[in-house]
Structure 1
Amino acid sequence: MYGLLELETDRFTLRKIEDGDLETLHSYWSDEVVTEYMNATFKSIEETQQMVELLNILPEIGEGRRWAIVDKRSGSVLGTCGYHNMKAEHRRAEIGFELGREYWGRGIMQEVMNIVIPHCFEDLGLNRIEAFVTVGNYRSLKALEKLGFKQEGVLREYEFTQGNFRDQVVLAILRSDWGNQI
């Protein structure tokens, strides 16, 4: 099993995505503003269900974990975050995250990723955490840079998403980078 089942910050709980989260996540994943830089905008609840099933199987196949971000006060699911494409032999993984747009700009991702990153380094023994950000997604770039990620380059036309080839900015943080921030 890869990673802890739940993580907590002062304001949020990171837990497994549950069936009861489908409607909320579908509202985010079908919002073209939220998904502008993601792989797809979902049209049906069935697509959301398939994605949740895929994300929830990641720990079983040793490739990562995705959590629902839950506000402790309201119990609302605000989005998801986690790691995937884990390569244990190379001690690296890729992170990903999204929030419903009504939660943007509130420091939520900074708070939750400040518990996910040390979990990856300390509990999973990773040495490198990568992120791939579609060119133009300045919010995600800024959030990652605040967390200590460094840009390493641009992969030209790296992904074919939403009907177009898109360039991806590669960022990474190393265990030694993280240790220097503490």
Structure 2
Amino acid sequence: MSLKAIGQLRTIEPSELEIMLSWRNSPSVRANMYTRHEISLTEHLAWWERIQEDNNQLYFMYEFQGVPLGVVAFTGINIASHNASWAFYASPEAPKGTGSKMEFLALEHAFNDMKLNKLCCEVLAFNTPVIKLHQKFGFKIEGILREQHYIERSPVDVYCLGILSSEWHEQKDAMREKILKLSKV
């Protein structure tokens, strides 16, 4: 079955930078990020300009049925070691299940298009729904960085998770079927 039923990752258009910023500045998104302040348009555009020159980062728009619904990022791309980190955020208005669709497509892109062997991510400890989502897709907790990050003068642990290409390929068909089944409900 085609991945169109799950959506697609595509190039972010310059005209979408403001909507991307509005999602990123949403309180529900900011609450789970390292950078938690409200980002100005000037700061956002300067950041976007910098990453366009950085070969170690790739950003994609997640689109479903012609509607942009989220952003997927690959950072710290290390071609020699065949690994990278990734992160994502969805529009606050995105329908339930959007995160799973984004994660499926990100894993497919990482291991099929980018030819990575390993994909990593970091999640703030209190963001248990995302930790569980990653585990559902086969990510393993590889470590906990104790009191690694401060939020409002309080230390927070950071979970480090990773998945290998071989682990993804063992279960991707089952995950695709689960997502497609949930999409029909």
TM range (shorter): 0.7 to 0.9
Q: Which residue of 1 aligns with 2:100?
A: 110
Q: What is the TM-score when the length of structure 1 is the normalising length?
A: 0.80
Gaps of 5+ in 1: 1-7
Number of residues of Structure 1 aligned to a counterpart in Structure 2: 169
- Name the residue aligned to 2:31: 36
Indicate the percent of aligned positions where both proteins have the same amino acid: 25
Q: CA offsets, 1:17-67, max 9 Å, x none? A: 222112212211222221112122334111222233344444xx2x13110
Rounded Cα–Cα distance in structure 2 between residues aligned with 1:98 and 1:81: 7
Query: Residue 21 and residue 111 in structure 1: after superposition, are their counterparts in 2 closer, same or farther (change >3 A)?
Result: same
Aligned to 1:70: 63
Distance (whole Å) between structure 2 residues aligned to residue 162 and residue 66 of structure 1: 29
TM-score (norm 2): 0.79
Q: What is the deviation of 1:161?
A: 6.2
Report the aligned-residue RMSD: 2.2
- For 1:3, the equivalent position in structure 2 comes to none
The 2-side partners of 1:127 and 1:162 are apart by 36
1:45 corresponds to which residue? Answer: 41
1:47-106 alpha-carbon deviations (Å, 9 max, x no partner): 222233344444xx2x13110122324x3x2220131111112111101000122226x1
Q: Is contact 1:9-1:111 (8 Å) kept?
A: no
Q: What per-residue deviation string (whole Å, max 9, x for no partner) do you get for residues 97-153 of structure 1?
A: 00122226x111212321221221223221110010011012211221121111112
**Contact kept in structure 1, 2:8 and 2:105, CA below 8 Å:** no
Gaps of 5+ in 2: 173-185
Contact 1:39 1:162 in 2 (8 A): no
Asked if the contact 1:64–1:84 (Cα under 8 Å) also holds between the matched residues in 2, the reply is yes
Provide runs of 4+ in structure 1 moved above 3 Å. 54-58, 159-166
| The structure with more helix, counted as a fraction of residues | 2
Partner amino acid, structure 2, of 1:181:
Q
